[in-house]
Amino acid sequence: MIMSTGLEWSLLDKPANWKKIFENDHPVDCEIGFGNAEFLINKAKSHLERNFFGIDYSSEFFTKAEKVIKRANSTNVKVVCLEAKAAFMILIPQKSLSHIYINFPDPWPKKKHRKNRLLDREFFTLAASRVAKEGKVIIVTDDPFYCDFILEEIGVTHLWKSLFQKGWTNEISDYYPTKYEKKWKAQGKDIFYMIFQKKKDPDKEFKMKEYNIKDVVFSTHFPSRISNIAGEIIKEGNSIARILQIKRTAEEIKILVLLKDDTLIRKRILPISESKNNQWKLQIPENLFPSFSFKIFIDKLKTLDE
C-alpha cells in the first residue's frame, strides 16, 4: 500500500518502519521545521537515492506542505505534524537517520522563553541516539547568540564533533537557501552554518511508553458522577490530564481533555456512549496514542465507578 505524503503519526508503527513508509531501503534524512517544504523538495529532487522525513508542529504548514510536495511529485518525501522532541521519542527508530537538517530554528531570545528552545543538551543527546554512526546534524541560524548557545549545549554532551574549527562558518557551498536565508542575507545579516558529526552513542535511552489500554465499560451510575471531575487536573510526574469540558446528552457523554506528556500536547474529544444493559462504553480511538497522561485520565474515570 502506497502511503500518502502527509502521514497521521498516531497511526504509524512506533517506532516508524521506514521501509513500509517509503517502500525502499534508501537512507533517511530528516528536516525539523519544514515550513513551506521548499528545502525538503529541493533536497528530494537532488537526491533521489535518499528518503526525506519532515517534522513540523504547525498544522497549517503541514497541510500546505502536503499539497506542494504532491504537486512536485516528490515521492521520496513524507511529513508529519508533531513536535520534534516528541516525534524523535515516539517515531524515529534508533540509529536510523543519516542527516538531520534544522534551518533557522526559533531562538526564543527572551530569557523567560529560553525553556522553549528545542536545541538544548537533552535534545542533542536524544538526536545522537537516533542518528546512525557518523551521521550529521546541520543547523543554520542568523542569530549569533543562539549559535553560541547551540555550541555550548552540544559541547557538553561530548557526543558530537564540529566540522568547523570555530564551530561554524559563514559560507557553505551547495546549500539550498530557504526563504529566511534569502531574506536575512538581503538585509546584510551574517548566516551561521553548523555541521556536527556523531562521535558515539549516548548512554541514556529515550522512549515515550505506549500503554495497552482497552475499551472501558462503566456502570449505570457513571453519568450521575461524571460532573464531579469537571475542570479537574490530574498530574503525575511530567504528565498532565486536564478535563476541559463535559457535555451530556441522553445517549452520549463527550469529554474534552487536554493530554500532556513532556512536549507531546493534545486536545481530544472522547465520546462515552450508552451500550447494552444501561452500561456506558468508552471506545478507545484508533488514532489516539495511549501515553501516560491518557492512562491517568482513564484511571481517574474508573474511580467514578468504584
The catalytic site residues sit at: 106
**How would you classify residue 145: left for phi > 0, otherwise alpha for psi between -120 and 50, otherwise beta?**
alpha
Which residue type does 28 have? V
Residues paired with residue 102 on neighbouring β-strands, in sequence order: 32, 139
Q: Which three cell numbers stand for residue 254?
A: 463527550
**How would you classify residue 93: left for phi > 0, otherwise alpha for psi between -120 and 50, otherwise beta?**
beta
3-state SS, residue 10: helix
Q: Shortest CA distance to 50 belongs to which of 87, 73, 24?
A: 24
**Using an 8 Å Cβ cutoff, are 33 and 85 in contact?**
no
- How far is residue 191's CA from residue 141's CA, in Å, rounded to a whole number? 6
Q: In the Cβ-directed half-sphere of 162, how many Cα atoms lie within 13 Å?
A: 19
Q: Shortest CA distance to 259 belongs to which of 271, 269, 267, 251?
A: 267
Chain centre to alpha carbon of residue 6: 14
- How far is residue 246's CA from residue 251's CA, in Å, rounded to a whole number? 14
3-state SS, residue 300: helix
What is the spatial order of strands in the sheet that 77-81 belongs to? 6-7, 77-81, 51-56, 28-32, 97-103, 131-141, 192-198, 160-162
